[in-house]
């Protein structure tokens, strides 16, 4: 079956621009997570959705970052006024439910480069 | 807060040999889960194996097994009969047992399997 997909695969943008990164979770998965992976680091949590609502957004670094999941399926991570420090791979994961007994399935990520 | 430490940035192993990747963690929680994820160059994180802290028996998945030492807060991964396809980044991760909590990852170990 189809896995988690993310688009675009790569995105290059100029400092100060606005970007949107999209995540299509596995059908039927109610939980969706966004992580950011900087070069040479492990993924770091950004935000988690259960259904349509953001259950935990404590990992968002500042108010330039925002994410939505309006219909409980596709999610979009939005970054305003991008900075060079935002350059990273943004990973999305989905699971049937929340909690450690549900495996998180990851997408291939979007590599964001801010020039 | 939980932290996960992987002290080996890079490792290599001959094909068909056995290799052990180290991971230590710090937490005040008593119930939690530990995971090993594999990230090949395609960037897609794949769950290798997981361990529930309240289970004393070490988890095993085919050629992959763990050595879980709860008192020492250590969770190493052993790969037996290493194959070229095992070449990847390996991340150790932690998740609390209760509540909607995200995965906390270590910085990873780059494993190269040499023919």
CA-CA distance, A62 to A83, in Å (whole number)? 12
The pLDDT of residue B100 is 67
Helix (H) or strand (E) holding B61: strand B60-61
Mean pLDDT for B61-73 is: 96
CB of B97 closer than 8 Å to CB of A100: yes
The pLDDT of residue A2 is 83
Tell whether the model's pLDDT for residue A26 goes beyond 90.
yes
Tell whether the model's pLDDT for residue A90 goes beyond 70.
yes
CA-CA distance, A100 to B95, in Å (whole number)? 6
Q: What is the pLDDT of residues A28-62, one digit of tens each?
A: 999 999 999 999 999 999 999 999 988 899 999 99
Q: What is the pLDDT of residues B15-51, one digit of tens each?
A: 999 999 999 999 998 899 999 999 998 889 999 999 9
DSSP character at residue B58? P
| For A32, nearest residue in chain B (alpha carbons) | B102
How many residue pairs from chains A and B have C-beta atoms closer than 8 A? 60
The pLDDT of residue A1 is 57
The pLDDT of residue B1 is 82
Instruction: With CB atoms and an 8 Å threshold, state whether B4 touches A48.
Output: no
The pLDDT of residue B102 is 87
Task: Of A49-53, A77-81, B100-104, B108-112, give the lowest mean pLDDT range.
Answer: B100-104
3-state secondary structure of B94: strand
Instruction: With CB atoms and an 8 Å threshold, state whether A108 touches B44.
Output: yes
Nearest C-alpha neighbor of B53 from the set B74, B32, B22: B32
pLDDT above 90 as % of chain B: 84
* Tokens linked to B112: 């190269």
């Amino acid at each position: 079956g189809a896995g988690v997909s993310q688009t675009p695969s790569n995105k290059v943008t100029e400092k100060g621009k606005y970007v949107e990164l999209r995540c299509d979770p596995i059908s039927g998965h109610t939980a969706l997570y966004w992580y950011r992976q900087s070069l040479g680091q492990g993924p770091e949590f950004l935000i988690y959705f259960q259904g349509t609502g953001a259950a935990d957004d404590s990992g968002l670094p500042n108010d330039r970052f925002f994410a939505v999941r309006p219909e409980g399926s596709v999610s979009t991570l939005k970054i305003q006024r991008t900075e060079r420090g935002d350059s990273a791979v943004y990973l999305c994961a989905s699971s049937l439910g929340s909690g450690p007994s549900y495996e998180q399935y990851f997408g291939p990520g979007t590599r964001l480069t801010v020039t | 807060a939980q932290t996960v430490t992987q002290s080996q940035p890079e490792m290599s192993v001959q094909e068909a040999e056995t290799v052990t990747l180290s991971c230590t963690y710090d937490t005040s929680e008593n119930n939690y889960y530990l995971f090993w994820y594999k990230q090949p160059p395609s960037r897609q994180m794949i769950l290798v194996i997981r361990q529930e802290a309240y289970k004393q028996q070490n988890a095993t998945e085919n050629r992959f097994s763990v050595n879980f030492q709860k008192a020492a807060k250590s969770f190493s991964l052993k790969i037996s009969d290493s194959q070229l396809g095992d070449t990847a980044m390996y991340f150790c991760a932690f998740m609390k047992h209760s509540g909607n909590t995200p995965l906390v990852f270590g910085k990873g170990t780059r494993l190269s399997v040499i023919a």
